[in-house]
Amino acid sequence: MAHNARLRSDYQWSYGPVVSGNDVKTLDTTLTKAVNGDEGGTWNPVASMVIGGAGMLFACPVILSAGGGVVTTTVFRIVFSDTGYFFLPGGHTSRSRTLVTHLQSLATSATVGVDGTYGAPITRQHPSMWPAILTLPYTTFLSALRVHDGATLQTVTFTLRIGESHLPDIMPAFRVIRVDKSGTVQPLKSTAGSAADANGWQSFPKPATAAAYYLAGAAQTLLYICDQNQVVDVANYSYFVEIADERGGNGFGTTGNTYHSAATLFGGIGDMRPQ
Amino acid sequence: MAHFDYIVPMGQWFTPLVPVPKRLAALDDGITRTLNGDDGGTWAPTKPIAFGGTQGLQLGASSTITGGVVAKSGGQLSLGNNDFPTFAGAQTRTLEVPLVPNNTSNNGQDADLSSLYGCLRTLVNGASIWIAIPGRYLHNGATLSTITMNYRVGRPHSALPIVQPALQCYRVTTAGVQAALAAGAAQVADASAQAYYAAGNKKSLVLTCTTNNVIDTSQYTYLVKWIEETGASVLSPLTLLHSLTLGYTAIADMRFE
């Protein structure tokens, strides 16, 4: 029903009818069914309460229980009147996420090709002519990263395979950078903890033996922990990983190293802004 | 008004009280306007019914808001844990992926850039051209149902190649382990050299994906492999690879792509 029923019309009341006990009971009963806007409470209506007209304005939190929902139509939508987005509360699983990026060399290079088996970059030529004292950075190849705008890039896990058994003088090195519109490069890792140099380069740990380095061609990983410039801002920066292959003496002979992927872990995702 | 007015001001409820008809009418009228929390009903207020306070309003499991929601400045639409805005019915979408040589070519040897079309141009018969689907074109959580390679044969052929080009797609773990999205590759199967060249017009090869095709960008990347023609009668440049058309289905909600 649209409203509670009137006991009597205004016209009938104007004649001063005798109020019976049953009349008061009816008014009382009807009142008990009314929604108490001051003190709140719980109601379980047997039919839907349909509010049309000027609608309802909630200046308070509205909690939709499991099963309840908002259904939009072409006319009635969900509208954010300012820069709001859907908010992800503290326990939402999407407040952090992992994105895997397939490594791809952005530039054609004489020393980087495509591994025919994996479709991933493979180094082709050991630069043994490069002096061992050559200091990083030395760019072998650059690969664009897929990022989550507004999130905090926490870690990047690189996966690689060593092509053959050997132990080079200088290990492969990795870094994660952002580049602004004028080309200024900023590493996402500082020298804190001595894991990286001033330019953000972190070297693969040098094992004791060639066999340990090769690891029978199995996939190996390097964890790169970001600690600066790590809140993603796609309006102002592009993001890349940069990989410098092994160099110096004792390099590989015929089979280079394959660099598969960069698995990026993002945290601090507070809302569902466009990506 | 925020509340109904008292029909008898506080402090004037004397005993015995003889209610005047006007007050009884006001009481009766006021009660009819209240929201009936037990029986439900339909109301069309002339002004918004405003709820404030800090305790909030909780709507039960069968409650549905069909009139739209406006979150004003300071207001917030917050999702429950693991929830995303959900579509009433599963959605589909199509994404067009341009093909450029960023490491899809094997160091400029297997493919390069066609200056005529601004797309990939394959150069070597039998070569496998790996094309990583850029992350921006991967719809996380959706089902990748079809992959269409839009291409044109580079030159007229006097006879059909012994093996015509083929298309396959793989999902790849972080360590490079591949799993095909279809039991077998889709292969061009033209009956004649004329049909194969098709006067240089654009052609399409569709790979229907049937397995491993629910996109999961947290664990996998996705690589398309174009296997170029082989055998006699191959001519370089072989094929112009214009674009991939990705057909997604079963998009249930608006989770991050």
- pLDDT exceeds cutoff 60 at A249: yes
- pLDDT exceeds cutoff 60 at A131: no
Helix A21-32 × helix B21-33 angle, to 10°? 30
Mean pLDDT along residues B101-129: 74
All residues of chain B having their beta carbon less than 8 Å from the beta carbon of residue A224 are: none
Distance separating the N- and C-terminal Cα atoms of chain A: 46
Per the model's pLDDT, the better-predicted residue between B82 and A139 turns out to be: B82
* H or E stretch at B41: strand B41-43
pLDDT at residue B102, as a whole number: 61
pLDDT at residue B2, as a whole number: 55
- pLDDT exceeds cutoff 50 at A135: no
Amino acid at B163: V
Per the model's pLDDT, the better-predicted residue between A173 and A42 turns out to be: A173
Q: Give me chain B's average pLDDT, please.
A: 86
Report CB contact under 8 Å: B107, A86.
no
* Helix, strand, coil fractions of chain A, as percent rounded to 5: 10, 30, 60
∠ CA B163-B164-B167, nearest 5°, is 115
Query: Mind telling me how many Å the CA of B227 is from chain A's nearest CA?
Result: 11
Q: What SS3 state is found at B28? A: helix
CA atoms within 13 A on the CB side of A34: 21
- pLDDT exceeds cutoff 60 at A169: yes
Report CB contact under 8 Å: A27, B31.
yes
Distance of CA B245 to the CA centre of its chain: 14
% of chain A surpassing 90 pLDDT: 43
Residue B56 is encoded by which pair of tokens? 């909030």
State which residue of chain A sits closest to B224, comparing Cα positions: A119
Report CB contact under 8 Å: B221, A261.
yes
pLDDT at residue A129, as a whole number: 40
All residues of chain A having their beta carbon less than 8 Å from the beta carbon of residue B101 are: 108
State which residue of chain B sits closest to A218, comparing Cα positions: B175
Ramachandran category for residue B182: left, alpha or beta (phi over 0 → left; psi -120 to 50 → alpha):
beta
- What residues contact residue B91 under an 8 Å CB cut-off, 6+ apart? B251, B252
Q: Which of B66, B79, B222 lies at the smallest CB-CB distance from A88?
A: B79
